[in-house]
Amino acid sequence: MSGVAIVGVGQTTYRRSHPDMSSRELIWAASKEALDDAGLSIRDIDVVIAGVAPDALAGEASVERSGIMGIGKPYVRVNTGGVTGSSTFFAGASYIKAGRAKAVLVFALERMGQATTSQQVFNTIFDPVYEKDFPLTTITMAALRASMLMRLYGYTEQHWARIASRSYQNARRNPLAHLHLDVSPEDVLKSPLLAWPIHRYEACPMSEGACAMVLMAKDSIGARKPVWVQGYASTSDSYAMGDRIHRPEATLVDLLSLRLSAEKAYKEAGVTNPVKEIRVVELYSAFSSAEAMAYPALGLCKAEEGPRFVERQFTDPSLPAFNPSGGPQGANPVSATAMVRIAECALQVRGTAGDRQVDGVERAVATGQGGATQFSTVCVLGKNPVH
Amino acid sequence: MATHKPQVFIDSAALEISWRDERRNLSELIFDTVRRAIDEGGAGMTGINSVVLAAHDLVDGRSLSSMVTAPAAGAYLRDEIRYGDDGAAAFAAAVVRIEAGEAERSIVAAWGRASEHDVDSVSRALFGPLFGTPLGLEELHVSAMRAQSWIQAGGQCDARAEAVARRRDAARANPRALRGAGSASQPSYPLAPDDLPRWADVVAAVIISSRPGGPRVTGMGQSSEPFAIGDRELAAMPGLARAAQQALAEANVAAGNLDVVEIDGLTLFDEALAAEAIGVAAKGEGLNTLARDRRVNPSGGSAAGYCAPAMGLARIVEATLHLQGRAGTNQVAGARRAMATGSSIVAAQTHTAIVLEGI
């Protein structure tokens, strides 16, 4: 088996829409930047893996096909909803680990700026017979979880607001972010209520853009500066939310799929004390409650300590930095968001994250979250390969 | 394949082709076929730690198909990934996972339910909203253009009627083929009704494993072609030719030594061009081969029932059953080596070829 490293990262800016660029141009812009970063051309790539989530968001079918690169090479599309970006990355890593490729280009594209309303589309991801007529959307789905967290563990609206405000402030240091807003916790609480307890400024925006990375086998890296993929894992849970509320393994807000993924990825990476050994955590947390659910699942605190863990983040510099890029609050190009998390971790580990760079990053963790909070991914990156 | 990699074997395979089964919803169709593949494997869910799926949201009529359907395919608390690509590409990805040491046993499933969607409308949506879709272009139109280009380039049509009859007879003899109506699209010249696929509801599933058992995966190849139809070489399938050459080279076998070749082609002419690309037919002789070579598409090809993106995996199931001697009335006697191919949207833009060897 071959070790896998990230040797190139490319991202477009993330905006509400890119009316000046076709899907093909967005794909190429991110991919060219990643290839240039790696010092490679498309001819050097063995396999191309594309990630695009629901076609309905773009109102265009199979947009990735028009942007095909490296014609003649293996080229496939992954679609796993919110975790599309990380699933695509993992699929590319598998080709290298299997020895079927030396260099793989992975990219993820989101064109949801072409959708009139994302929530109308998201209503159609649910069961068409029983749930579609019920006003279930990703926002109301998150609100159900947030209220459960408040009841079980004592989170308050203030906690949600502080998490959201922190992400907005971080996004101001990220030139690629979609939103650069000076939002305080009070501003979050004053913003319109979408579905209690979620306010507008707690919800992620609709963003367009593309992210790409070049992965390379250990024995091909040469003089490039690698970021090592130390461990990764993906787990799918039951679709039925009702079945997840009272089952013995975990409740709905325990994020069992993320916990199982973290355990596996940490084991691969040799992480035994995550709160000490991980400096940066880039979370796919489209809402503050999603971030709170991730803390215990990632082994960073116990579930009942969650509210206090939020408060400690503002006073204890030894804790990991959460979403220094601004996370999905700063930009949420759904198909790409989970890949952006990995890309941002790679920049942090490499020390090239610009104004959003966190000091002393030896290891970083990126998560992905999708479906009815049922698809979870964890990816551990570090300065050193795992032996 | 490199010797240090785990070898990959097919434990079991199942295929169901139906039409508008009012007793079962999509999840139930998927569950039934995956369950059958698991049961036929004889080891239950033991060791299954990977689920690789192929499905299209537009075909399934759900904005995120696998959200509702993945659990029915065995994904509960397992590592699962869904490809918006052909089932053979998903199969290749599942093999890669085992070779990478990431999985021990894997479910691979692919499906499409033509009775629940307007196949032609979905096809039109694939061609780009500015130029292709307003023109009314569909994948079957590209197949017609491909057939015309092939004829103009000297493709031999003398045995066309014979090829149609053989394909129809093979589908009738295939116990897994569509029984009942299905549906069909309108043909475009030079295609005729008998050249077209019979739209159906298709679910295919296989269980693959690193433990020696059933047929072994000895070669894989994947390739791609340009998006724009004008940029393609229509009278041939260079992407499939590359994928097939790669798979045959890896398996160290010549096309002429294959005992069964299960080709995923949308129409009779696509199957003929594919036979040439793979190397089981000489250039221009694809229809003659389909008419006379019993090794090629003993299943009846797209006449046995068709719905993307299940067909590449359906071809793999058919090839597997022949190697296991379980294909039924259309069994190719003594089959030891087989190739199965899969092509995906848009109009066969990406290709996968798999070579299997019986134990």
Average pLDDT over residues B183-208: 97
Give which of B27, B58, B63, B76 to mutate to test A binding, by max A Cβ within 10 Å: B63
Asked, for residue A76, whether it belongs to a domain, the answer is: yes
Closest by Cβ to B82, choosing from A65, A67, A80: A80
More confident residue, A371 or B327: B327
State the pLDDT confidence band at A195, using cuts at 50, 70 and 90.
very high
Average pLDDT over residues B292-311: 98
Other beta carbons less than 10 A from residue A47's beta carbon: 24
Give which of A49, A63, A80 to mutate to test B binding, by max B Cβ within 10 Å: A80
Residue A76 exposure: Cα atoms within 13 Å on the Cβ side: 38
Interchain pair B93, A94: CB under 8 A: yes
Asked, for residue A165, whether it belongs to a domain, the answer is: no
Average pLDDT over residues A210-214: 98
Q: What is the pLDDT of residue A1?
A: 44
Provide the domain limits for residue A34.
Answer: 4-114+208-215
> Which helix (H) or strand (E) segment is A48 a member of?
strand A47-51
Asked, for residue A86, whether it belongs to a domain, the answer is: yes
CA distance B185 to chain A (A): 20
Taking a C-beta distance cutoff of 8 angstroms, is the pair B274, B237 a contact? Answer: yes
Query: Above 80 in pLDDT, residue A35?
Result: yes
Asked, for residue A238, whether it belongs to a domain, the answer is: no
Closest by Cβ to B81, choosing from A65, A87, A127: A87
Asked, for residue B234, whether it belongs to a domain, the answer is: yes
Interchain pair B77, A60: CB under 8 A: no
Asked, for residue B281, whether it belongs to a domain, the answer is: yes
Query: Nearest Cα to A165, choosing from A319, A361, A310, A345?
Result: A310
Round to whole Å and give the CA distance between B243 and B75: 29
More confident residue, A227 or A141: A227
State the pLDDT confidence band at A141, using cuts at 50, 70 and 90.
confident
The residues, any chain, with a CB within 8 Å of residue A180's CB and separated by 6 or more, are A171, A172
**Complex-level ipTM:** 0.96
Q: What is the pLDDT of residue B1?
A: 40
How much of chain B exceeds pLDDT 90, in percent?
A: 91
CATH of the domain at A29: 3.40.47.10
Provide the domain limits for residue B294.
Answer: 217-357
Interchain pair B77, A235: CB under 8 A: yes
Query: Above 90 in pLDDT, residue A244?
Result: no
Angle at the Cα of B341 (from B170 to B148), degrees rounded to 5? 75
The residues, any chain, with a CB within 8 Å of residue B63's CB and separated by 6 or more, are A54, A55, A56, A57, A121, A122, A124, A125, B57
Q: What is the pLDDT of residue A2?
A: 60
- For B165-193, b/e burial (b = at least 16 CB within 10 A) is ebbeebbebbebbbeeebeebebbeebee
Q: Which residue of B has its CA nearest to A256?
A: B77
Query: pLDDT tens, A285-343?
Result: 999 999 999 999 999 999 999 999 999 999 999 999 999 999 999 999 999 999 999 99
Query: Nearest Cα to B288, choosing from B188, B154, B169?
Result: B154
Average pLDDT over residues B222-242: 96
Asked, for residue A289, whether it belongs to a domain, the answer is: no
Q: Does A382 touch chain B (CB under 8 A)?
A: no
Number of domains making up chain A: 1
Q: Which residue of B has its CA nearest to A234?
A: B79
Q: Which residue has the tokens 């009627």?
A: B161
Taking a C-beta distance cutoff of 8 angstroms, is the pair A95, A104 a contact? Answer: yes
State the pairing for strand pair B350-357/B216-224.
Answer: antiparallel
Asked, for residue B261, whether it belongs to a domain, the answer is: yes
Closest by Cβ to B67, choosing from A95, A98, A371: A371
Closest by Cβ to A80, choosing from B66, B71, B96: B66
Query: Nearest Cα to A76, choosing from B342, B59, B350?
Result: B350
Closest by Cβ to B62, choosing from A75, A100, A128: A128
Other beta carbons less than 10 A from residue A384's beta carbon: 12
How much of chain B exceeds pLDDT 70, in percent?
A: 99
As a whole number of Å, the end-to-end CA separation of chain B is 17
CA distance A344 to chain B (A): 23
Average pLDDT over residues B13-20: 97
Q: What's the alpha-carbon Rg for chain A, to the nearest Å?
A: 19
| Phi, psi (degrees; rounded to nearest 5) at A77 | -115, 135
Q: Does A130 touch chain B (CB under 8 A)?
A: no
Q: Does A80 touch chain B (CB under 8 A)?
A: yes
The residues, any chain, with a CB within 8 Å of residue B191's CB and separated by 6 or more, are B140, B143, B144, B147, B267, B268, B269
Asked, for residue B158, whether it belongs to a domain, the answer is: no
Asked, for residue B306, whether it belongs to a domain, the answer is: yes
Closest by Cβ to A65, choosing from B75, B122, B346: B346
Round to whole Å and give the CA distance between A80 and A370: 7
Question: Is there a cis peptide before residue B309, judged by omega within 30 degrees of 0?
Answer: yes
Tokens of B320: 């597997």
Chain A residue numbers with beta carbons less than 8 Å from the beta carbon of B77 are 235-237, 256-257, 260
State the pLDDT confidence band at A97, using cuts at 50, 70 and 90.
very high
CATH of the domain at B262: 3.40.47.10
Q: Full-prediction pTM beyond 0.95?
A: yes
More confident residue, B89 or A371: B89
Residues β-bridged to residue A368: A377
Chain A residue numbers with beta carbons less than 8 Å from the beta carbon of B223 are 72-74
Tokens of B256: 């002429």
CA distance B63 to chain A (A): 5
Q: Which amino acid is at B154?
A: G
Interchain pair A125, B242: CB under 8 A: no
Query: Above 90 in pLDDT, residue B21?
Result: yes
B70, B280, B338 from B293: Cα distances, Å: 39, 9, 14
Round to whole Å and give the CA distance between A52 and A66: 12
The residues, any chain, with a CB within 8 Å of residue A112's CB and separated by 6 or more, are A57, A58, A118, A206, A207, A208, A333, A334
Query: Above 70 in pLDDT, residue B2?
Result: no
Q: What is the pLDDT of residue B62?
A: 79
Q: What is the pLDDT of residue A128?
A: 72
Asked, for residue B271, whether it belongs to a domain, the answer is: yes
Query: pLDDT tens, A104-128?
Result: 999 999 998 887 777 777 777 777 7
Helices (H), chain A: 23-38, 55-58, 63-66, 84-97, 118-123, 138-153, 157-171, 185-190, 256-269, 274-277, 288-297, 306-313, 327-330, 334-350
- Average model confidence (pLDDT) for chain A? 94
Chain B contacts in chain A segment 247-266 (CB below 8 A): 256-257, 260
CA distance B80 to chain A (A): 6
Asked, for residue A84, whether it belongs to a domain, the answer is: yes
| 3-state SS, one letter per residue, for chain B | CCCCCCCCEEEEEEEEEECCCCCCCHHHHHHHHHHHHHHHHCCCCCCEEEEEEECCHHHHCCCCHHHHHHHHHCCCCEEEEEECCCHHHHHHHHHHHHHCCCCCEEEEEEEEEHHHCCHHHHHHHCCHHHHHHHHCCCHHHHHHHHHHHHHHCCCCCCCHHHHHHHHHHHHHHCCCCCCCCCECCCCCCCCCHHHCCCECEEEEEEEEECCCCCCEEEEEEEEECCCCHHHCCCCCCHHHHHHHHHHHHHHCCCHHHCCEEECCCCCHHHHHHHHHHHCCCCCCCHHHHHHHCCCECCCCHHHHCECCCCHHHHHHHHHHHHHHCCCHHHCCCCCCEEEEEEECCCCCCEEEEEEEECC
Tokens of A234: 């993906």
Query: Above 80 in pLDDT, residue A47?
Result: yes
Asked, for residue B156, whether it belongs to a domain, the answer is: no
Closest by Cβ to B64, choosing from A95, A125, A256: A125
Average pLDDT over residues B76-97: 97
Query: pLDDT tens, B37-84?
Result: 999 999 999 999 999 999 998 898 877 888 889 999 999 999 999 999
Chain B contacts in chain A segment 294-313 (CB below 8 A): none
Burial class (CB in 10 A: 0-12, 13-18, 19+), B329: exposed
Interchain pair A74, B225: CB under 8 A: no
Q: What is the pLDDT of residue B3?
A: 46
Interchain pair B84, A77: CB under 8 A: yes
Number of domains making up chain B: 1
Asked, for residue A55, whether it belongs to a domain, the answer is: yes
3-state secondary structure of A255: coil
Asked, for residue B135, whether it belongs to a domain, the answer is: no
Interchain pair B350, A76: CB under 8 A: yes
3-state secondary structure of A356: helix
